[in-house]
Each structure stands twice: as C-alpha cells, then as structure tokens.
Amino acid sequence: MSADTVNATRPLAALTSGPLQGRVRVPGDKSISHRALMFGALSTGTTRLKGLLEAEDVINTAKALTALGAPIEKIGSEWHVKGRGVGGLRQPDGPLDFGNSGTGTRLMLGIIAGHDMTVELTGDASLSRRPMGRVLTPLQKMGLEIEGARDRLPLVARGSASLVPIVYELPVPSAQVKSAVLLAGLHAAGETSVIESEATRDHTERMLRHFGAEVRVAAEGGKTRITVVGDAELTGCDVVVPADPSSAAFIAAAAALVPGSDVTVEGVLINPTRIGFYEVLREMGCEVDFLDARDEGGEPVADIRVRHAPLKGVHVAAHRAPSMIDEYPILAVVSAFAAGETRMDGLAELKVKESDRLAATVAGLHANGVDAKADGDTLFVNGGRQVRGGGTVATHLDHRIAMSFLTMGLASQEPVTVDDTSMVATSFPEFLSLMQSLGARFGTSAGQA
C-alpha cells in the first residue's frame, strides 16, 4: 500500500520488514525553522530561508507572523520573510491559531510581550491541555499581562512597549523558556539574562548572532549565563535550515533495529545540544558514523550513517535529557530490542509534551509485550533481541508516539498498529514515504502491505 493511499485518520500497522537500505534527507529542523521565521519577522529587510520545514507546526507560525504584519511567502524553493524590525509588529485582526505547536506558542509569547498589543492565542485540543506557566512566569515579571488566572490556551496576552529587563534562573532546563525570555529581552532597555544549570538547545543564541543581535554566553559558578542586549536591531539575512535530528532519529532507529540495514541520512544538524540520542545508540552497540561534517549557517551538520548491530541496555543519566528530550519515546522502543535493562533518568519534561509521553510510552511498550515501568521521572525497559509486537498503541494525538511505535513494528515479530497518524504531519509529513523508500512496509492490517 502506498503511503499516499493511507487514510491518515484510521489505524495504521507497521509490518516486519527486510533490510533497510539507501540514502534519504529528512525535512528541515523544526526548532530552527520556527526561530528563522520569527527572527526574520523582527528584522529589517528580507530574510530568505532554504530548507524550511513545511509541516503544520511551522506553517502555523508563518501564518501567525503574517497576521502580525510580517508577510511570509514561498518563492520557488525559498521562503521570504518581510521583516518589520524589533517592536514593529501590529495588532492582528483575530486570534492566532498555533494548532499543535508548543514551540510556536511559547516563543511567540516572548515576541508579543514586547509589543503594545492584545493578542488571543489558541491551539488544538492537545496543545490546549499543555501548561504555559513556566514561560508565563518570567514574561510576566518583564511586563506581559495575561487575562484571568490561566496557564493554558486559549490565552489573551497583552504586551508592553516598555518591558523590564530581568535576570532569570531556569528552575528546570527548557530551551523554549530560555528562548522566550531572550526574545522578550530584545525589546527591553538594558540587558536580559537567563541562567541555566544544564545546557539546553542553543539555536536561539546562535541565530540571534546571525541576525546581528549582541549575545554573550559566560560560565558563572558552574552555571551558564546567556545575556541579550535590548533595544536590538536585527538585519534580514539568508538561512539554510539543516535536516532535523529528531526526525532523523526514527530512520536511524529503524536501521539500528532491522537486521542487515545500512542507511544514511543526509545533511543532519549535529549541534552538540541535539545529538544525545545518537551518542546513546553508539553506547548500545549500534554503528553510527558522522560523515562529511561541515558548517552551514552557523550550525554543524553531517551525513549520519547507521548500520544494524546487536544492542545492549545502558544507563542514560538525567543530565543528558536536554540533548535528547524529544527522542526518549523512540529510544524506549530501541531499548525494547536491547539485551538487558535500559534505565532513563530525568524524564519529568515528557509528562508535559503533546501527551504525557512517559505514560504513553510505557502503555505502548506493554501493549506489545515489553517489560517496562515508570518510577517517578525514571523509565525502565527490560529488553531482549526479540519483541513480540502485535499490539495497538494509543497515540493521544502525539506525533512522536505514533512514529516511535510504527518504527517498532518494522522489527517486531508481529505487526504493531497505531490508532492514528494524522498528527504526524505536524513535524514529519514525509515519514511514511521516506521509510517506504528504504524498504519499510506499512498497511491497514497485518495482511495488507
């Protein structure tokens, strides 16, 4: 069955597949795509973007920025953003709908904070269940106002043209909170600093410099202080968006699990804050090589080659979570095929993603005969070289749960079914077609491929 003929709102089964072989390129990195659009809108002049992720989450950010007065259009293979400068966006005519995108919502709150306007932010059912309190707390200290005592969408936010700069220490590692505060800091007079005890994704710092902002990063008492100078002036520029390592992780995992596989994913972002999953794969015994490492637009990229090998269980310490927080569901699936116990610590963040990913992951493993449990913020998976499969997984409208368990089915003894794939389009619309191009098999039932 072709991926194009699958009704995305109905169950889909992943079937046991032969060796996966070939070279593919996954879509552009979602984190960088969001930021490139936003920074372009806050710049003067035109920003031209190549390789932008054309998935629902990113498109919703583009629509929101257009509604705020920064037109965005696709011309040929490029996306062009007509910037309005820091503080230059305007009151939208209606609510801004972010669909399923937590990143788009939280970062946009940082932008809205610096504008004298009132904006309603909405999202789908899944996003509306996700708490926004951690990002609202520092932004409200700077001057953002929220109608009512709400921390979930829909939210009505009122910004200010006179934000107060702050020094804010992150209570838990969060690149989204850090980025929102730094974005608000662009509009504040003086210097705004974020202090983090554990490193988080640094795309905002790198890209702000690329657009001309003054950003300083300094070690301070065992922690890191990131400072942005306010009243900033950003200048439109060209950005090449590298391939998303979180999307590539599903293909890498499939190659690691299906015997005889040898797959290369081209042009993948290998920023040190994003490659924890690949480091763990190596520790488990998988053959993972970064080929032709190079720099593109201020970010390191490489072609990632993954070959199947017998895997063993490992201990993944809590300090590694920020570098692979989105990859824990697929790592749990990989762990099911690894001999012995895999222990993953520090997973509190998984409970407030598109779903409670920790609970959804454990339930999906149980449905397919895998011994696993969550104890507080720790996940234990007792793996073996064979996984029975045969279960149906509740995705809870979570794209990463859907893709993780479809990947499981490619190597399990019996097909693995997920209850819905419609949400996969939020981050990786080409997931099924790229997997099929490498030899993966899917169908609407165990007997139909």
* 402 contacts 417 by C-beta, under 8 angstroms: no
Query: What is the C-alpha to C-alpha distance for residues 113 and 126, in angstroms, rounded to an integer?
Result: 24
In 3D space, the residue among 109, 231, 215, 108 whose CA is nearest the CA of residue 161 turns out to be 231
Distances in whole angstroms, Cα of residue 381 to Cα of each of 14, 51, 243, 308, 341: 21, 36, 29, 20, 6
- pLDDT for 354 equals 65
Strand order in the sheet with 299-307: 21-24, 262-269, 299-307, 287-296
- Count of alpha carbons within 13 angstroms of residue 277, beta-carbon side: 29
In 3D space, the residue among 328, 439, 303, 297 whose CA is nearest the CA of residue 26 turns out to be 303
Reading the block at residue 4, the tokens are: 């194009």
C-alpha torsion angle, residues 271, 276, 282, 287 (rounded to 10): -50
- pLDDT for 369 equals 97
Query: What is the C-alpha to C-alpha distance for residues 331 and 71, in angstroms, rounded to an integer?
Result: 39
pTM value is: 0.85
Number of H helices, E strands in the chain: 12, 26
Distances in whole angstroms, Cα of residue 60 to Cα of each of 12, 72, 153, 224, 423: 26, 11, 15, 32, 14
> Which domains does the chain carry?
3-28+243-443 (3.65.10.10), 31-239 (3.65.10.10)
- 96-97/118-122 β-pairing: parallel
- pLDDT for 8 equals 43
Mean pLDDT, 10 residues at a time, the chain of 449 residues: 42 96 96 97 97 94 98 97 97 96 96 98 92 96 94 96 97 94 97 94 94 96 97 95 96 98 97 96 98 88 97 96 93 98 93 82 98 96 94 94 98 97 89 97 68
For 359-404, give the DSSP string. HHHHHHHHHTT-EEEEETTEEEEEE-S---B--EE--TT-HHHHHH
- pLDDT for 298 equals 76
Give the DSSP H/E element, type plus range, for residue 334. helix 328-336
Reading the block at residue 395, the tokens are: 């995705």
* 45 contacts 55 by C-beta, under 8 angstroms: no
Q: Which of 29, 326, 398, 420 is the catalytic position?
A: 326
- pLDDT for 295 equals 87
Active site residue 326: yes
- pLDDT for 2 equals 35
In 3D space, the residue among 449, 448, 393, 447 whose CA is nearest the CA of residue 420 turns out to be 393
Strands (DSSP E) contained in 230-350 are 234-235, 238-240, 262-269, 287-296, 299-307, 315-316, 340-344
Strand order in the sheet with 378-383: 315-316, 340-344, 378-383, 371-375
